Structure 1
């Protein structure tokens, strides 16, 4: 009787979760198949993993709150969000579909009159950021996924403290998981005592309740800084040193950051405001918005995505951008586990004669991602893509350049986490001079990389291929 009861429970669990997966029309066929494999090969482990991580859902309350926040933003800040019709006058016809698609995600369309500076390295970013905070007159808004108590993190925190003490309105958001050490630290308390208004995105005060009601790995991965409404920073660097002391064996973390001025600052300001209102549950009135164009500036738009936006918005944006390339596209990302649409877009671009360059870190801090990434190498190389593996540390820069004219920079990786789980922020712009600067930076990454050849991949031991492909089989649910 005991064995019969156990068999019934076993069958009920597998059948119940299989039916749940089949009932979900938001899953792609590969993701559905991956869950079937996990649940049938390791039923109890698979059911537990599905229960904890299987569904991307913040709940109806969070989605309703998100919709209300953006409806409020659109009602009161429409002049700062750009207009769909302006795409036809600001953007080259080849790239209009990508800018239109980016605008459809959360309503930010390109506005002209922006300028930007590509910062030399992590040290230059930290120095410039602290100087800008020290010079702030009215307000400073910052949001980081990872904020450490190292030199960079401490300098930023102390700059905010100094600004708050002289009367500048300072608001800071840190992710509850990525910045969990800082949130419990004396430094965080000192900022609060000094008058910095603090918020935690997706706090982990009760992780068990979080696991029961949502997913513990739904995070705010954004990196946003807005100063006095006329300066914003965008890129891949968290508030942390490149030595990245929580994972020092992969250091240095190699990031890319840009400092923007112009109307795109107001869009980043609005994206920060949406996160603030979501995290604090309060209306953020009176934030300073400026749309002062810079003479001769270029068109740019903010692209924000997250689990409360429509599904697959980010991979569809990448696919549209890749499809717009005519001569060359170069992509750098630390985490490459694309969905089928992005993978096929890369392969199709190479087949139609576009020079497709892909740069990934040789040594990845995620062995799962590393294996899944390499499972795609053979198809990409056979299509004519050029793959380089960066050897100078963990290449954390997320960049995409198209034809030396259009670029995307920000926080999004090419993996499921960025596609479906994380809140991300990017800036998409059209400017030959600035895109060429990013292209030069990408070339410097390639100069510190090893080229991967089809012959090398063909000589991988059979067990390496089996391992890579086995991991990739569950790639859609990683």
Structure 2
């Protein structure tokens, strides 16, 4: 055997040992820290079957390294005692939901709020810009997408003007959704002297383990008194009246009242996490009741001990006695949620799920066909909404409880993204949400069964990507 042969044998043996050691390390870490059986099996298989590459992928996107880097700014709120909580909500089938959400979030319900629904950027943008123009002390804006286009430029100008007149302005843009390689909004605001940051963003390979974790929240808080939240990003595609090439319908909300403090807390939390800067008391004025809606913020993210939005959704489904209505642009939830909806329909509850005919993610559209079939068999009604693409995220229970915010019905929103929803106890508002979406075409089993075999195989293959979509 030549020297070269000996060297090749040594290198091969060393590589094999290194691969086994790396795969064992990944396996141990997965077994200790991955709660999802499906994700655990997938990562272990990748680590063993893809030498070195599997371990590298797990190190980059498989490990949840997200920890709050500083003490949370959120002040400690005491949960209401059982008697106090019961006093804020009329005792009915949803009373247990009040207790459950309090236990999940650690936040109390806040009575005395006003919530106003707005459709797309046509209605929401002018109201948001008006409030920015009237701001006296603070503006906090967080957006997953914030484009430097005709719609975004109006926000640039309004934010720069507010900064110049002495308002404390803070802008947070997601490091991926806001443009990973280039963010015109970030550059524009930074050049103008507006404090702006990009959430979990870095160009350096050794500092990009968070590329799979995104801040999907959409939140604007003015003077700590008025807030806007929902599903609406900032971009020209959201202004339907201007006939953009790829129009997007959406639903956004203006909120005023005591619950705005919790929304400000959420923004302050994310800002401090990203920049290390705590926000001072100017951001948290004393708030008095201004309306009749009982509300509570439900934040969720990979830094939490549990998937709070997913858990609240499951609790809400279990408490339903008459109807469940879900509006979402993407539908690919985990097995517990799919089963909960099917069981609800089987016990006689009207379950309506409204989805866009075609979303802007084809793979998600393919994959959703698989879980929709058993839901239809269980008695759920699946309504397909025609173009333009509807990006709204809404849920109502028994026409009296609503869940609004940024979270889609998919694994990414429930377990990977930083999301922000708000629960609302108000029958009039729930009916307004129901009336805002008029379904037209009901998906049938015959239509799904009519898919040719290649399409069914494609859809089932896409479904296997659920943990990563």
- What TM-score, normalized by structure 2, do the two folds share? 0.88
The unaligned stretches of length 5 or more in structure 1 are none
What is the DSSP-based 3-state SS (H/G/I as helix, E as strand, rest coil) of the residue aligned with 2:424? strand
- Following superposition, the deviation at residue 200 of structure 1 comes to 2.2
| 1:416 and 2:430 matched | no
Aligned counterpart in structure 2 of residue 458 of structure 1, from 446, 449, 454 = 449
Q: Counterpart in 2 of 1:161?
A: 160
- Following superposition, the deviation at residue 368 of structure 1 comes to 2.6
Relative to structure 1, the CA distance from residue 202 to residue 110 in structure 2 (aligned partners, 3 Å threshold; closer, same or farther) is same
Q: Deviations over 1:329-383 (max 9, x none)?
A: 1111122221121111111111111111111222222233222211101111100
- Following superposition, the deviation at residue 292 of structure 1 comes to 3.2
Relative to structure 1, the CA distance from residue 295 to residue 177 in structure 2 (aligned partners, 3 Å threshold; closer, same or farther) is closer
Q: Hey, what's the Cα distance between the residues in 1 that align with 2:26 and 2:461?
A: 21
Q: Deviations over 1:214-266 (max 9, x none)?
A: 23121111111111222101100011123599xx9982222100101101111
Aligned counterpart in structure 2 of residue 375 of structure 1, from 370, 374, 377 = 370
Q: Counterpart in 2 of 1:23?
A: 31
Q: Counterpart in 2 of 1:307?
A: 302
Aligned counterpart in structure 1 of residue 207 of structure 2, from 207, 210, 216 = 210
What is the DSSP-based 3-state SS (H/G/I as helix, E as strand, rest coil) of the residue aligned with 1:24? helix
Q: Hey, what's the Cα distance between the residues in 2 that align with 1:372 and 1:304?
A: 27
Relative to structure 1, the CA distance from residue 106 to residue 196 in structure 2 (aligned partners, 3 Å threshold; closer, same or farther) is farther
Relative to structure 1, the CA distance from residue 16 to residue 101 in structure 2 (aligned partners, 3 Å threshold; closer, same or farther) is same
Q: Counterpart in 2 of 1:292?
A: 287
Rg: which structure is higher?
2
| 1:8 and 2:50 matched | no
| 1:33 and 2:32 matched | no
Alignment of 1:339-418 (within 5 A): 339-418=334-413
- Following superposition, the deviation at residue 128 of structure 1 comes to 0.8
Q: Is the 8 A contact 2:263 2:297 kept in 1?
A: yes
Relative to structure 1, the CA distance from residue 343 to residue 34 in structure 2 (aligned partners, 3 Å threshold; closer, same or farther) is farther
Q: Hey, what's the Cα distance between the residues in 2 that align with 1:84 and 1:193?
A: 50
Q: Hey, what's the Cα distance between the residues in 1 that align with 2:39 and 2:69?
A: 26
Alignment of 1:79-478 (within 5 A): 83=80, 85=82, 86-93=84-91, 94-180=93-179, 184-185=183-184, 188-192=186-190, 194-206=192-204, 208-211=205-208, 214-242=209-237, 251-443=246-438, 446-447=439-440, 450-478=441-469
Relative to structure 1, the CA distance from residue 204 to residue 18 in structure 2 (aligned partners, 3 Å threshold; closer, same or farther) is closer
Between 1:375-384 and 1:40-49, the stretch displaced more is 40-49
Q: Is the 8 A contact 1:164 1:194 kept in 2?
A: no
- Following superposition, the deviation at residue 321 of structure 1 comes to 1.1
The unaligned stretches of length 5 or more in structure 2 are none
- Following superposition, the deviation at residue 403 of structure 1 comes to 1.0
Relative to structure 1, the CA distance from residue 63 to residue 74 in structure 2 (aligned partners, 3 Å threshold; closer, same or farther) is same
What is the DSSP-based 3-state SS (H/G/I as helix, E as strand, rest coil) of the residue aligned with 2:455? helix
What is the DSSP-based 3-state SS (H/G/I as helix, E as strand, rest coil) of the residue aligned with 2:387? coil
Q: Hey, what's the Cα distance between the residues in 2 that align with 1:158 and 1:249?
A: 22
- Following superposition, the deviation at residue 296 of structure 1 comes to 4.7
Q: Deviations over 1:25-65 (max 9, x none)?
A: 4332222234456567766765554343222322xxx3453
Relative to structure 1, the CA distance from residue 128 to residue 63 in structure 2 (aligned partners, 3 Å threshold; closer, same or farther) is closer
Q: Is the 8 A contact 1:244 1:251 kept in 2?
A: no
- What TM-score, normalized by structure 1, do the two folds share? 0.87
Q: Counterpart in 1 of 2:75?
A: 74
What is the DSSP-based 3-state SS (H/G/I as helix, E as strand, rest coil) of the residue aligned with 1:294? coil
Q: Is the 8 A contact 2:122 2:239 kept in 1?
A: no
What is the DSSP-based 3-state SS (H/G/I as helix, E as strand, rest coil) of the residue aligned with 2:280? coil
Q: Is the 8 A contact 1:125 1:257 kept in 2?
A: yes
What is the DSSP-based 3-state SS (H/G/I as helix, E as strand, rest coil) of the residue aligned with 2:236? coil
Relative to structure 1, the CA distance from residue 275 to residue 243 in structure 2 (aligned partners, 3 Å threshold; closer, same or farther) is closer
What is the DSSP-based 3-state SS (H/G/I as helix, E as strand, rest coil) of the residue aligned with 1:102? helix
Relative to structure 1, the CA distance from residue 289 to residue 376 in structure 2 (aligned partners, 3 Å threshold; closer, same or farther) is same
**What is the alpha-carbon root mean square deviation over aligned residues?**
2.9
* Pairs aligned (count): 457
Q: Hey, what's the Cα distance between the residues in 2 that align with 1:392 and 1:412?
A: 21
Q: Hey, what's the Cα distance between the residues in 2 that align with 1:301 and 1:108?
A: 7
What is the DSSP-based 3-state SS (H/G/I as helix, E as strand, rest coil) of the residue aligned with 1:376? helix
Between 1:292-301 and 1:45-54, the stretch displaced more is 45-54
